[in-house]
Structure 1
C-alpha cells in the first residue's frame, strides 16, 4: 500500500494473456508431452513385457492427475504472465516437460522398446526391471 504497487489483474488482462497460450511454444510442448504420456501409459498395458496391465482405475487416476496439472498450468500461466513473470511460468512448464519426458521413456522401456544402456541405467524403474530379467 505504501511501498511497491501491487499487481492488479482483471479478467480482461487475464483473458488477453490466456489467448496468447496457443502461440507459446513451451505451452504447446507441455500439452503435447502430456498427451503422448497418456497414450504411451495406456498402450504399455497391452504389451506382454509390461509389469502392469490395462486397468480402468489406474487409467482414470492418471487421466485425472494429468488434467489437474494441465488445468493448473492453463489457469495460472496467464495470471503469472500478467504479473510480468512469464519466464518463471516457462520454467514451471519446462520442469513438467522434463518429468513427463522421463515418464514417456519409462513407458517405452516397459513396452520392451530397446533403449540405450545409459538410459536404462539412469532410470530407476527400468534399471530394476532390467535386473529382474
Structure 2
C-alpha cells in the first residue's frame, strides 16, 4: 500500500513539474499568480456561499455552474500565460512577455479579490481602493491595435 502511495505522489509531482516548466518555471511570478487565483476563487465561494452576495448568480448564492465557469476562466488564464512563454521563446525575449502577462493577470485577480472582500464588508484603506481604481482605469484605456488586414493579422 505504501508503494502505491509513493507512486501516486511521484506522478503528481512529475505532472506538477511538467506544468510549471511549460508555464515558464516555478518562480515567484507564477507562484503569486496561482496564490492570487486561489484566493480569488475561495473569496468568491465565501461571498456566494456564506454572504449570498455574488454577482455571478441571479440569487447571489452559490451555484455550481458559476463555480465551474470561474475554474474554466482560471484555466484559460494559464493558457494565455503559456502563449506568453511560447512567444518569448520564439522571439528570444527571455521572460518579458510571460512576466507582463502574469503581472497583468495578478492585477486582475487582485481587483477581484478586493471586490469579493468588499462584498463581505471587509474595510480597505482608501489609498488601496484609489490605487486599484487607477489601475482599473489604466487597464480600460489600453487599446490593443488591430492588425493590418493586408498582412493577415
TM-score range relative to shorter protein: 0.5 to 0.7
* Partner residue in 2 for 1:48: 51
Give ranges in structure 1 of 5+ residues lacking alignment.
1-14, 124-133
What is the CA deviation profile of residues 22-65 of structure 1, one whole-angstrom value per residue up to 9, with x for unaligned ones?
1x211111111111111111111133372521111111111111
Query: Secondary structure at the residue paired with 1:64?
Result: helix
RMSD over aligned CA atoms reads 2.6
Query: Secondary structure at the residue paired with 1:21?
Result: coil
* Partner residue in 1 for 2:16: none
TM score, norm. by length of structure 2 = 0.58
Query: Secondary structure at the residue paired with 1:47?
Result: helix
What is the CA deviation profile of residues 40-96 of structure 1, one whole-angstrom value per residue up to 9, with x for unaligned ones?
1111113337252111111111111111112332x3243234232211220111011
Aligned equivalent of 1:84, options 92, 110, 114: 92
Q: Is the 8 A contact 1:31 1:70 kept in 2?
A: no
Deviates more, 1:96-105 or 1:108-117: 108-117
TM score, norm. by length of structure 1 = 0.66
Give ranges in structure 2 of 5+ residues lacking alignment.
1-18, 55-59, 134-153
Query: Secondary structure at the residue paired with 1:99?
Result: helix
What is the 5 A alignment of 1:47-126?
Answer: 47-48=50-51, 50-51=53-54, 52-73=60-81, 75-82=82-89, 83-85=91-93, 86-117=95-126, 119=128
* Partner residue in 2 for 1:18: 22
Deviation at residue 118 of structure 1 after TM alignment: 5.0
Aligned residues: 106
CA, structure 1 residues 43+49, in 2 after alignment: closer, same or farther (shift >3 Å)? Answer: closer
Aligned equivalent of 2:33, options 18, 30, 49: 30
